[in-house]
């Protein structure tokens, strides 16, 4: 592996992933790829820029696919102003299967685009920060999803690209621990779905993030709400 594309949101998971891939690549060529798809927490893209620079990437593209918000209008609390981001505690068991913060088929779209870039720049691997979640879940962050995406890409007759998701069986606490070992500046990441500082501490990703830092015995510089 001497060249890779990392799908970088600027959140905790993909930021740690970026630095882990830099470690694995050594002096290899690292491309970071980010998307503005209409998310309310576009603040994370500023963090993506900072992390990409810190990791010494060869390129960092922030691609505007804000049409995606209109294409999937009315379906996600992450993109639709009329749908509030819920507190995790308010979600029913049925909602946790595919919560309001799920964005229709977003991850397949982003991975397909990352695979296209990887193919074009002769990178064999796309790195994807999907991680195991305890309390809620998305079908497009699972090991089965990654395996099936790879089954599609394996059909390419000349330059098959592979999606690597090294955190897919990690807890978020594992990712925090690894990030700390790698010296990742957690203050320059952003997770809160509500997108406005300070992090709300109650949305699904804030709750997970806080629990992860507690479990890792560390303090989250972004949010110290009990």
Q: Is 91 in the site for a second copy (CB under 8 A)?
A: no
Q: Contact letters (x/-) for a second copy, 115-154, by CB under 8 A?
A: xxx-xx------------------xx-x-xx--xx-xxx-
Q: From the CB of 186, what's the least distance to a second copy, in Å?
A: 30
Cα gap 152→32, rounded to integer Å: 22
Q: Is 73 in the site for a second copy (CB under 8 A)?
A: yes
With the C-alpha atoms ordered 204, 195, 76, 67, is the resulting torsion angle positive or negative?
negative
CA 164 to chain centre: 13
Stretch that binds a second copy, among 10-18, 22-30, 101-109, 213-221 (CB under 8 A): 101-109
Cα gap 24→179, rounded to integer Å: 14
Residue 10 sits at φ, ψ, to 5 deg, of 95, 0
Size of the site for a second copy (CB under 8 A): 41
Cβ burial, residue 104 (10 Å; 0-12/13-18/19+): middle
Q: Is 158 in the site for a second copy (CB under 8 A)?
A: yes
Q: From the CB of 117, what's the least distance to a second copy, in Å?
A: 5
Q: From the CB of 65, what's the least distance to a second copy, in Å?
A: 7
CB 14 within 8 A of CB 178: no
Q: Considering beta carbons, is residue 37 or 186 the nearer one to a second copy?
A: 37
Q: From the CB of 130, what's the least distance to a second copy, in Å?
A: 13
* Edge-to-edge strand list for the sheet holding 29-36: 59-64, 29-36, 3-7, 125-127, 162-164
Of residues 4-63, those binding a second copy (CB under 8 A): 61, 63
With the C-alpha atoms ordered 22, 15, 173, 123, is the resulting torsion angle positive or negative?
negative
Q: Is 108 in the site for a second copy (CB under 8 A)?
A: yes
Q: From the CB of 62, what's the least distance to a second copy, in Å?
A: 10
CB 107 within 8 A of CB 144: no
Residues of this chain that interact with a second copy (CB under 8 A) are 61, 63-65, 67-68, 71-75, 97-98, 104-106, 108-109, 112-113, 115-117, 119-120, 139-140, 142, 144-145, 148-149, 151-153, 155-159, 161
């Amino acid at each position: 592996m001497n060249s890779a594309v990392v799908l970088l949101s600027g959140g905790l998971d993909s930021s740690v992933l970026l630095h882990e891939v830099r470690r694995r690549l050594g002096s290899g060529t690292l491309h970071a790829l980010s998307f503005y798809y209409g998310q309310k927490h576009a603040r994370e893209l500023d963090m993506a820029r900072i992390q990409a620079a810190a990791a010494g990437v060869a390129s960092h593209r922030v691609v505007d696919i804000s049409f995606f918000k209109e294409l999937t209008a009315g379906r996600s609390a992450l993109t639709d102003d009329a749908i509030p981001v819920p507190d995790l505690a308010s979600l029913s068991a049925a909602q946790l299967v595919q919560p309001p913060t799920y964005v229709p088929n977003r991850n397949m779209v982003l991975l397909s685009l990352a695979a296209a870039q990887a193919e074009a720049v002769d990178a064999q691997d796309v790195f994807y920060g999907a991680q195991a979640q305890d309390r809620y879940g998305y079908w497009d962050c699972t090991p089965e999803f990654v395996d099936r995406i790879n089954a599609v890409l394996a059909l390419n007759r000349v330059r098959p690209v592979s999606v690597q998701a090294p955190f897919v069986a990690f807890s978020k606490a594992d990712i925090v621990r690894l990030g700390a070992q790698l010296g990742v500046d957690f203050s320059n990441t952003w997770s809160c779905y509500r997108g406005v500082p300070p992090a709300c501490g109650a949305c699904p990703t804030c709750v997970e993030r806080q629990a992860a830092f507690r479990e890792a015995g560390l303090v989250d510089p972004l949010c110290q709400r009990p």
